[in-house]
């Protein structure tokens, strides 16, 4: 329900030159009245809608629409909200692919744990969603992020391209790629290249790169 409602609000925001559904509602009494009527008997759901990322995010902070793309490249600086955008993208990929294998990659494994997973405001654990919560777990002795629908994310770094060989994934997120070390495996491939080769599971594998 929220996804459909947010999509409808975002289309309306785009048509009215507002930068997010939130700004549309704030500046449109007619839209406010419409939402109040729609959620008249469910005020708690309306509050949940207002708290959702899809409602509050700017247009350029949400996954692009359509099916004609595989990589979402985010070129931006500090303060833009890229960590939150990567987290929300990853939650969406996990939700759309129950039981699927994802990847989380950064310059070092420490960066994966500290930023993508553990950032206190914008990381995946901090933004865990009630419909599909996630938690730290392990598989075959390696740490993973596990979602309740069976999807899980393996951790990768630019320092160990060999570990990125093999897994068939539904996609994932790469942080601060411009800072990655140029380490190559025995075939001459980097971690980023191997992750791309492995994106061949699910109906439409996708990655977000910042």
Q: Does the pLDDT of residue 135 top 70, yes or no?
A: yes
Res 5: pLDDT: 79
Q: Determine the 3-state secondary structure of 152 from DSSP.
A: strand
The CATH number, out of the four listed (3.40.1190.20, 3.40.50.300, 3.30.750.24, 3.50.50.100), of the domain defined by the range 71-209: 3.40.50.300
Domain locations in the chain as residue ranges = 2-60, 71-209
**3-state class (DSSP) for residue 173:** strand
DSSP character for 64?
P
State residue 126's pLDDT score: 98
Measured distance CA(164)–CA(172) in Å, rounded:
12
C-alpha span between 115 and 71 (Å, rounded): 20
Give the helix/strand (H/E) hosting 109: helix 109-111
> Would you say the C-alpha torsion 177, 183, 184, 186 has a positive or negative sign?
negative
CB 71 within 8 A of CB 45: no
Provide the whole-model pTM. 0.89
At 199 the pLDDT is 98
Encode pLDDT of 35-73 as tens digits.
989 899 988 888 888 988 889 999 999 999 899 999 999
């Amino acid at each position: 329900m929220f996804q459909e409602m947010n999509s409808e609000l975002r289309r309306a925001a785009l048509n009215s030159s507002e930068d997010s559904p939130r700004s549309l509602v704030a500046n449109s009494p007619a839209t406010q009245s419409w939402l109040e009527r729609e959620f008249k008997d469910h005020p708690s759901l309306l509050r949940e809608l207002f708290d959702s990322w899809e409602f509050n995010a700017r247009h350029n902070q949400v996954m692009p629409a359509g099916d004609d793309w595989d990589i979402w490249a985010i070129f931006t600086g500090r303060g833009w909200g890229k960590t939150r955008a990567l987290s929300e993208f990853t939650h969406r990929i996990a939700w759309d692919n129950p039981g699927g294998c994802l990847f989380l990659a950064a310059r070092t494994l420490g960066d994966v744990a500290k930023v993508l997973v553990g950032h206190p405001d914008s990381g995946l654990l901090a933004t865990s969603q009630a419909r599909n919560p996630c938690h730290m777990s392990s598989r075959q002795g390696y740490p993973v992020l596990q979602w309740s629908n069976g999807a899980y994310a393996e951790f990768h770094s630019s320092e160990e391209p060999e570990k990125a060989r093999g897994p068939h994934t539904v996609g994932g997120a790469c942080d601060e790629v411009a800072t990655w070390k140029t380490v190559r495996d025995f075939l001459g491939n980097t971690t980023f290249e191997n992750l791309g080769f492995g994106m061949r599971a699910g109906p439409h594998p996708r990655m977000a790169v910042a």
